């Protein structure tokens, strides 16, 4: 009984020169409006949370979330290089995917899980990803500009220098 009374009691502070019935009425009215808006905000937050839980997640997500959507899952291995490029391309195509690191293998490999219904998007993603990886390999095989510059500097330094002769004639 005591707890009920404590839960229902309200502290109300009014700043005024003298307390009048009208002032007390306005204070209570403001308090009730505040309580209504606070309860409305709480219920709105609760509704938003429930909506977020019910809405499917898109893009990168956990395997548990991907399987929970109930549309079947397919998987494939990708190497440890270019993981960031893969994520960008997959997000560009709007595919739902989950990436899991295989901790037992050395070097670590990554498994990518897709929704089975995204088969067309998966093929497009893999095509673009493989092209990007091939371009990276080509770039890695080319000698860098700094390396070429260093080689040219060495050549110039190894060539015999022409001696300058100065003679003062009087």
- pLDDT tens-digit map of 122-131: 888 888 988 8
User: 7 falls in which pLDDT band (50, 70, 90)?
Assistant: low
Q: Dump the DSSP string for 54-122.
A: HSPP-SB--HHHHHHT-S-EEEEEE-STTHHHHHHHHHHHT--EEEEEESSSSS-EEEEEEEGGGHHHH
The pLDDT of residue 150: 92
Give me the mean pLDDT over the 94-113 stretch: 84
Q: Which pTM value belongs to this model?
A: 0.48
pLDDT at 26 exceeding the cut of 70: yes
* CATH class of segment(s) 63-144: alpha beta
């Amino acid at each position: 009984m005591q707890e009920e009374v404590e839960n229902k009691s309200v502290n109300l502070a009014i700043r005024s020169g003298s307390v009048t019935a009208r002032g007390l009425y306005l204070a209570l009215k403001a308090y009730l409006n505040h309580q209504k808006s606070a309860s409305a905000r709480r219920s709105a937050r609760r509704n938003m949370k429930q909506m977020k839980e019910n809405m499917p997640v898109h893009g990168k997500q956990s395997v548990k979330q991907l399987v929970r959507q109930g549309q079947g899952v397919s998987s494939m291995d990708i190497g440890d290089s270019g993981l960031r490029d893969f994520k960008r391309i997959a997000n560009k195509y709007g595919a739902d995917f989950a990436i899991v690191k295989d901790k037992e293998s050395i070097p670590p490999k990554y498994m990518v899980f897709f929704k089975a219904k995204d088969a067309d998007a998966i093929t497009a993603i893999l095509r673009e990803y493989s092209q990007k990886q091939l371009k990276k390999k080509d770039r890695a095989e080319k000698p860098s500009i700094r390396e070429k510059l260093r080689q040219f500097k060495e050549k110039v330094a190894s060539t015999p220098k022409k001696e300058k002769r100065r003679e003062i004639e009087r």
